[in-house]
Amino acid sequence: MIVHDAAIMPALDVPEWARASHFTDIESPGVEYAFLRACRGESTPFTPVWLMRQAGRYLPEYRRIRERLSFLDLCRDSQTAAEVTVGTVRKLGVDAAIIFADILLPLLPMGLGLEFAKGEGPHVERPIRGIADVERLPNVSVAETLAFVGETIALTKAELRGVAPVIGFAGAPFTVASYAIEGGSSRNFTETKKLMYREPRVWHGLMAYITELTSAYLRMQIEAGADAVQLFDSWVGCLSPGDYVDYVLPYTQQVIASLRSSVPVIYFGTMTAGLLDVIRMTGADVVGVDWRIDLDEARDRLGENVAIQGNFDPVKLFAEPAEIRKGAREILARMEGRPGHIFNLGHGVLPGTPVDGVLALIDAVHAYDRR
**53 an active-site residue?**
yes
Of 37, 66, 126, 301, the active-site residue reads 66
Of 37, 57, 301, 334, the active-site residue reads 57
**62 an active-site residue?**
no
Of 58, 90, 95, 102, the active-site residue reads 102
Buried b (16+ CB within 10 A) or exposed e, 159-173: bbeebbbbbbbbbbb
- Residue 88 CB contacts under 8 Å (≥ 6 apart), including other chains: 54, 55, 59, 62, 94, 97
Q: Are 148 and 106 in contact (CB under 8 A)?
A: no
What is the spatial distance between Cα 38 and Cα 309, in angstroms, rounded to a whole number? 9
CB atoms within 10 A of CB 240: 11
Q: Are 310 and 294 in contact (CB under 8 A)?
A: no
Strands 265-268 and 97-98: unpaired
What is the spatial distance between Cα 325 and Cα 362, in angstroms, rounded to a whole number? 9
**371 an active-site residue?**
no
Of 53, 76, 90, 325, the active-site residue reads 53
What is the spatial distance between Cα 120 and Cα 342, in angstroms, rounded to a whole number? 31
Q: Are 90 and 116 in contact (CB under 8 A)?
A: no
Distances (CA, A) of 156 to 93, 106, 161: 15, 21, 8
Of 179, 209, 217, 368, the active-site residue reads 179
Sign of the dihedral through C-alpha 207, 108, 240, 188: negative
The residues carrying an active-site annotation are: 53, 57, 66, 102, 179
